[in-house]
Structure 1
Amino acid sequence: MTHAVPSSADAPIGVFDSGVGGLSVLRHIHAQLPHEHVMYFADSAFAPYGAKTDEWLVQRALDVTAFLISQGAKALVVACNTATVAAIKAVRTAYPALPVVGVEPGLKPGAAATRNGTVGVLATASTLRGEKFLALREQISTTNGTRFLLQPCGGLVERIEQGDLSGAETAAMLHGFVDPLLDQGADTLVLGCTHYPFVQEAIAQVVAARGANVAPVTLIDTGDAVARQLARLLEGAGLQRPGGTPAHLRGYTSGNAAALQTAFANLLGLHPQVETVQV
């Protein structure tokens, strides 16, 4: 079954994630498309997505997409690696007229950035076992010989959701995830979950703690590429909003509205209206 989609250039872009991680993508969208209205949906009542089944993720993505379209969304950004891997095909099938952008771990930019051919991928277990992800890894490895080291980061999303970006527990957790990758020679680390750019500085400190024992390490955040792709799709569909009047940002969450307002303020310095909704 397919559905009609609003197509006004003045309509907002819908962005959703399991929680606050997608704000790292929203940051790039704001920077590149400052004239666009945006709605952000944090599905915090059901976070994290990493432990959910693919069937659940597909249905949840369809439900959230339907809500954002009911609020007038002209385009959709699935700002969650786990949901992209599991559900973006179903969303595109249900809404073929809707410009849809997903986020995926940056295997291609990681392979392009590495100097020694070894790339560590930090992501949720669900992302790392996805068929599309594994097929892309195999394709790149076969083509240029890049070795990808896959590191599931259980519990990290929850710490970021709680706002602990640099505390002792988060630092200890990051050492447990990052040190084994460095031990195996990774000179590039892919941040394969939209939450992880918010601990990028803490990851850099883990690397720095190794001192002269490890070569310079490149960190890959794909949020910028997502915003560029969104801009291309909007231009191609004739849906770019002209400037001249202020753009508005609105937040929705299945969880606690005050918590999302705090995340907007602390992580992005933004103060949009936020409301809790049943989806």
Structure 2
Amino acid sequence: MVDFRIEIGFTFIEQIIRCMDNPDEYPISELIKHEAAMGVHSHASRYWNTNKNLHDFWEDKIRLESSKGKGHIDQILSCMKYIDSNTDDFSEAFEEIKEYLPIDLRLSCKLFLMVGYDSGIVSDGNAYLNLGYTQFHKHKRELLYLAMHELHHVGYTHYNQTYSMEELKSTTDLLRIVRYSTHLEGLAVYASLERRRRENGFNHRDYILLNDPARRERASSEFLNILKGLEDEPKRALVDEDRHILKLMSAGDRLWYVMGAHMAELMDEKLGRKTLNQTIVEGPDSFFHAYTRTMI
């Protein structure tokens, strides 16, 4: 049985609010002592989203969030209140995540709340939600759904270490990262799909595409064409134009999210949940191999 213990951590977002309200009383130098501050910065550095040191990174983030005014801070506080007021729903959702993870998983982590970076991330074995993200202000339930997504990443990366952009040097590296990210993101998108269906929670663009058969088919075809091109490409050093593939996969129609979830759904239906979850243990190649079996 899966043993995945999750604690929602409010201390970092509370310290961020203090820092935004009164930076003289609670300066950046205090904020960055928190493990969550280091975790977010580690992620940003790993994926080349910053070249700033820890202090300057958070100084910029706090300055920008503060500049958005009282209404923005009120929305952050409203997100905090929503999570705190719906702990039973979150606990139930955390139990559901276990159904999409390997049965031998034994893990504890925290779900930290923060602002200023991405919508949600996983870093150093913990998950993070950005309460300043506009989508959460419009649709509070997305906090629960994206928590499921990021926490699934925590389980996945327990078995499959995440990559760094420093590793991206050749076409072989690019193919490996595309396959890894399709597996990682597709399974996480799929992990909240059943709950979203029960609650009609389809505000997020990934699920809008998944629920549109024509757009799903078009995204799948585009993904497979790009993947085949990478597979057929001889190993060589990357040039700048090659990196646009990452943008095609992660932005726009978010191909590796949508195609990965499409693959996961087919595997679950045709091969069973146990087989699907076992691909996490065995890695991305196993995921793609299992997908070919659904085509037989």
**TM-score, normalised relative to structure 1:** 0.27
Instruction: Tell me which structure has the larger Cα radius of gyration.
Output: 2
Which structure's residues are more often strand, by fraction? 1
Comparing both chains, which one has the higher relative contact order based on Cα–Cα distances under 8 Å and sequence gaps of 6 or more? 1
**TM-score, normalised relative to structure 2:** 0.26
